[in-house]
Structure 1
């Protein structure tokens, strides 16, 4: 490692702290970043009979006996008639595209073709922990260090010095020098299989190239993604205005902390009042409408402004006017805000408030949580452990910097009218329709779950189901996201966490209540719930779920065949299963205090959750549309469910 650092210090020009290899790269991995990419296994296509069987097993939990009988007949017919033909076509398509996975391009298309607005519907958010030293939470200090650490991550990624993403079954045995030496010797085409011998599993890193310099561009019918792999500038928004400055020099090296801080300080000192025509609000609108408005903006002379926005490495949002530290306020702010100081099309936006609260809001079509969480984890730890700009240095900054470029949109009456309409509609959407609730609950923890022989994630999913069962006495379609990044160009698979075992336990608790006698029986049932959940999670992670397979078979029918679609896809039960009333995702990063997303259907809940090892607490955020579902009522029921489950966990 020292040899790499020494070599790079000779290659890089100059000798100041700003251009040493130690400053330039967040990591200097012995293993090249993409070392395992060529040998990653391909995402398997499940067997048709397995998919149909798993589909029916899941449907049985949410359908009436009469509905299930009809669905079973449709599935039987599908297996005899259209199913084998569609499955064979998928096998052929997969064989013709060995460079990727069968789900990759269609999944991109699914996102890019959806015409719904990005905020709430798609863009998730995460809020980071504050720095322990309050002086480092100053907006200027925090923003400068976040930009520097992000640039250090970017440079390590571009140079191939970022540590490859690897899941270690036992870090003591595989996260070692021996592992790195052995796997580095192996050619890339077989390196992954060498890692398997250590029970270490390299993950797909193809999405990482979309982190920086990427923007989703609105188009009529289907959006597109644009990338600039050589981008050097950052986009900054404050009070609805746009600014840009270079964070990298012409030779690709990171500019000094003083230079970056000077640019940010210059923007923070801009005395302009909030923009009366905040163009960013247009990114909150329906995609075809936004495409039309963007085309008009280009036509009246804003092509160069868009070029700067689209090609920026990332977006830094300075919300220094927000000084509230009330967490419910922060949740709404990082999820959607008022839309005036946002550009939801950027690959990701780093947000800093007036009290130094920081977090991320990211566009979802280009990639999933694996890449974003890795970036957030590495970047935020670097900010906390190795800050490169310090509070006492603020006094030595100029009040303005000639390196900052202001990007001013040319507007006309058409633009002004569109902006005013978007402001009104977004306010109605976020303030009058949407409700968000955050819960921090010190109750059971990971250790208690493991001592009881159950998976913490399975218990969280059971809690979500029990809370809804207490309210409605029924099962609903439930989505838990599971990454398939162990495979080349894998995306996600669905864990259908409401099972027959879960349903039986929820029904028993609601109808019979908890007691010393009942809890012994419930604990055995809980263990069975956990075993089933673990099996479903493993199947999903190994590409053996059923949702993506059926998604592809339906898509193939729509693309290649005419006439009436198969009965399985016309079945109301198929629609019902894909209207996920409970949409859930866990956030597994030590730097994240909380996070979440909006409901995916009008009558659903969006639930982001985590069990924190540090303070033994459960953290979660719930979002719903208040005229359809009540997030407050659900949170109250969830607390009751947690208390029931704790009693069962602690029973002898």
Structure 2
């Protein structure tokens, strides 16, 4: 109550010190700004709704209609003179109104025609399957001309294409089952495979018809037939800790522009808030494949001000309207930092001042407060129970609300992030591990992302996976890091002047004296430490060759690396296993990811040839090219609605709702993914030009394995001479070893290279 009295007396003093007219002016300005914002939002929605037509074209058409009418120019289908006799009067006012109405109808027809023409054109995916170097088909040429003509009409906003993107088609049951059987042939012996085939036939001839009917119905009704279920059942219903099993990280550039922690944090926070502003105003350009084909932008909506809230049986994603604060975690304390002055984002130097003040504080945090974030690294049900019991009222609720409504969380770590291109895989991997899990208590794992800044100014990002795929956060980090370089002088100091020099932060307060709460936090932290100590993580800097050499082999760089991973895994385990490579379905509305099953009949044949000394080099090359072509086709299939796993995933969900038993589906969802892989996209912003700015080279990011006895491998093909691999497994597993597998990857890459050496 004393805090409330202090705040109200401050308000009274403020009112007494200002004239009534000034207060009314402030109220007027606030209301006016609110209505301006609403109008801008409405205008953007209308502009997106009529794209690729211009909103302004309505005025042009209205003027033309009036000109033709009042000049008595004869036009075909003269709608105005046809219906003018219906008007109550022939006065000029009524004629103008009729002209406006006719113009609006004409404009609406044009808008709808252009919109559906674009949607029809975006359904075409034949261009993706055309072989490079063999010319372009006539169909694709005509398609390309038409798309370019439509796009020239208007510059798109971030969400302009959302209404024009096609819906993801539901594959046929037969195609999906056939693809599945081919994908598992290398991992099963003959007897087991025959049993799988029998189960598949029984499924295809049995309940699949009913399941497919429901799924097709859903595809007509929903924007995407699987994305909402994928979010709910693959993520939100999982009770496992987020820290290592679900979340991921993204890394800084090799040569950051400043080693000042507060300065780097200030500039990146400013740039990220500017990025949020671009999303809000929809001035962020949508990502376009080949400059012509848009990717779905819906995932950007929840990039900021978003949190995963734990539940007893299922979590939920909560997104808030644009907030004006972030939360900083430092030395076990939490600070709410206001990052706006009025409607202006604090500039980098002003933010640096806030963060420097926080860094210089010597707060006293209890052990429970220091370990508080470990609750977000705990089992989701346990965290939900603690949250409901101890954080649903009072100062704990207020402080938790501040964190959950924040634009994002900034972690100012006490430790430096040490790495360079000459770092050993273990040394570089320690940096990745710092970003992924920290010390178990300096990341708020529920937030959409945490910006992490080490004591030496190097940075990185920790992302929660439910609300969007990693490519969206990668876009944010890539854009901000590119802009970051121009903001410092030669000494690593920020260039912009400080205008506002006063504290805009306050320390969040907690009531953590309850014995049960203390014990829960202690248990959560111990669990987090157990997870951290079990992580075996390395980052390989592969400098022997990159995409330059791979292209001389006339092979897809991604397929080349996937084949190297197949060879490495076979040498490591002596057998094949299901391999997951993530691809995107964002060519369709509300698209997320689809699985590319990299272990194929063709890849296994090639791997066996590499281990057979009697097979010639020429035969190995032939088999490698077959395997790479098969992989590339599978990748494109997964992007264009011909994937396997999301279709079967939806069947599994529907079968559980309908209480229909299927040994075939049960088998599929009990098969472990022992090799989980992903390629990080690069160049999502045109600012990333590594030829001009080699300092922008980044190792990108990584994640943990899905299966206990599996590996996780993330990679990025950076330059003609550089590839990064992020390799992870669990120390407690007796059959996996990250160092051993990393060496197998390097050896496999080298062995493939030797095939093409003369």
Alignment of 1:550-561 (within 5 A): 550-559=648-657, 561=658
Q: Which residue of 2 aligns with 1:429?
A: 531
Q: Which residue of 2 aligns with 1:138?
A: 260
Q: Which residue of 1 aligns with 2:285?
A: 163
Alpha-carbon distance in structure 2 between the residues aligned to 1:245 and 1:378: 23
Structure 1 residues 282 and 256, CA, compared in 2 at 3 Å: closer, same or farther? same
Match of 2:583, SS state, is: strand
1:332 aligns with 2:422: no
Alpha-carbon distance in structure 2 between the residues aligned to 1:377 and 1:483: 19
Structure 1 residues 554 and 492, CA, compared in 2 at 3 Å: closer, same or farther? same
Q: Which residue of 2 aligns with 1:446?
A: 547
Alpha-carbon distance in structure 1 between the residues aligned to 2:496 and 2:477: 29
Shift, 1:85, TM fit: 1.2
Structure 1 stretch displaced more, 299-308 or 201-210 = 299-308
Structure with larger Rg: 2
Q: Which residue of 2 aligns with 1:305?
A: 399
1:468 aligns with 2:569: yes
Q: Which residue of 2 aligns with 1:153?
A: 275
Q: Which residue of 2 aligns with 1:22?
A: none
Alignment of 1:37-52 (within 5 A): 37-52=162-177
Q: Which residue of 1 aligns with 2:188?
A: 63
Shift, 1:588, TM fit: 2.4
Question: Structure 1 residue aligned with 2:642, among 532, 544, 547?
Answer: 544
Question: Structure 2 residue aligned with 1:617, among 722, 728, 732?
Answer: 722
Shift, 1:295, TM fit: 1.5
Per-residue CA shift, 1:346-377, capped at 9, x if unaligned?
00111100112211110000000231122111
Q: Give the conservation status (yes or no) of the 8 Å contact 1:131–1:137.
A: no
Equivalent pairs, count = 580
Per-residue CA shift, 1:492-512, capped at 9, x if unaligned?
100001111110111111232
Structure 1 residues 396 and 415, CA, compared in 2 at 3 Å: closer, same or farther? farther
Shift, 1:51, TM fit: 0.3
Alpha-carbon distance in structure 2 between the residues aligned to 1:341 and 1:274: 13
Match of 1:38, SS state, is: coil
Q: Which residue of 1 aligns with 2:604?
A: 503
Match of 2:391, SS state, is: helix
Q: Which residue of 1 aligns with 2:624?
A: 526
4+ aligned runs moved over 3 Å, structure 1: 130-133, 320-326, 385-401
Q: Give the conservation status (yes or no) of the 8 Å contact 1:352–1:358.
A: yes
Q: Give the conservation status (yes or no) of the 8 Å contact 1:466–1:641.
A: yes
Q: Which residue of 1 aligns with 2:594?
A: 493
Q: Give the conservation status (yes or no) of the 8 Å contact 1:598–1:624.
A: yes
Shift, 1:321, TM fit: 3.4
Per-residue CA shift, 1:211-233, capped at 9, x if unaligned?
01000001110001111122111
Match of 2:699, SS state, is: strand
Structure 1 stretch displaced more, 136-145 or 381-390 = 381-390
Shift, 1:407, TM fit: 0.8
Alpha-carbon distance in structure 2 between the residues aligned to 1:496 and 1:643: 24
Shift, 1:576, TM fit: 5.0
1:108 aligns with 2:215: no
Question: Structure 2 residue aligned with 1:361, among 454, 458, 462?
Answer: 462
Question: Structure 2 residue aligned with 1:82, among 207, 213, 218?
Answer: 207
Question: Structure 1 residue aligned with 2:409, among 307, 312, 315?
Answer: 315
Q: Which residue of 1 aligns with 2:48?
A: none
Structure 1, gaps ≥5 residues long: 1-10, 13-28, 169-173, 175-199
The higher relative CO (CA closer than 8 Å, separation ≥ 6) is in 1
Q: Which residue of 2 aligns with 1:568?
A: 664
Structure 1 vs Structure 2 CA RMSD:
2.3
Shift, 1:434, TM fit: 2.1
Alignment of 1:18-57 (within 5 A): 30-57=155-182
1:586 aligns with 2:679: yes
TM-score normalized by structure 1?
Answer: 0.85
Match of 1:220, SS state, is: coil
Q: Which residue of 1 aligns with 2:88?
A: none
Alpha-carbon distance in structure 1 between the residues aligned to 2:341 and 2:171: 49
Q: Which residue of 1 aligns with 2:750?
A: 643
Shift, 1:320, TM fit: 3.4
Alpha-carbon distance in structure 2 between the residues aligned to 1:416 and 1:382: 43
TM-score normalized by structure 2?
Answer: 0.73
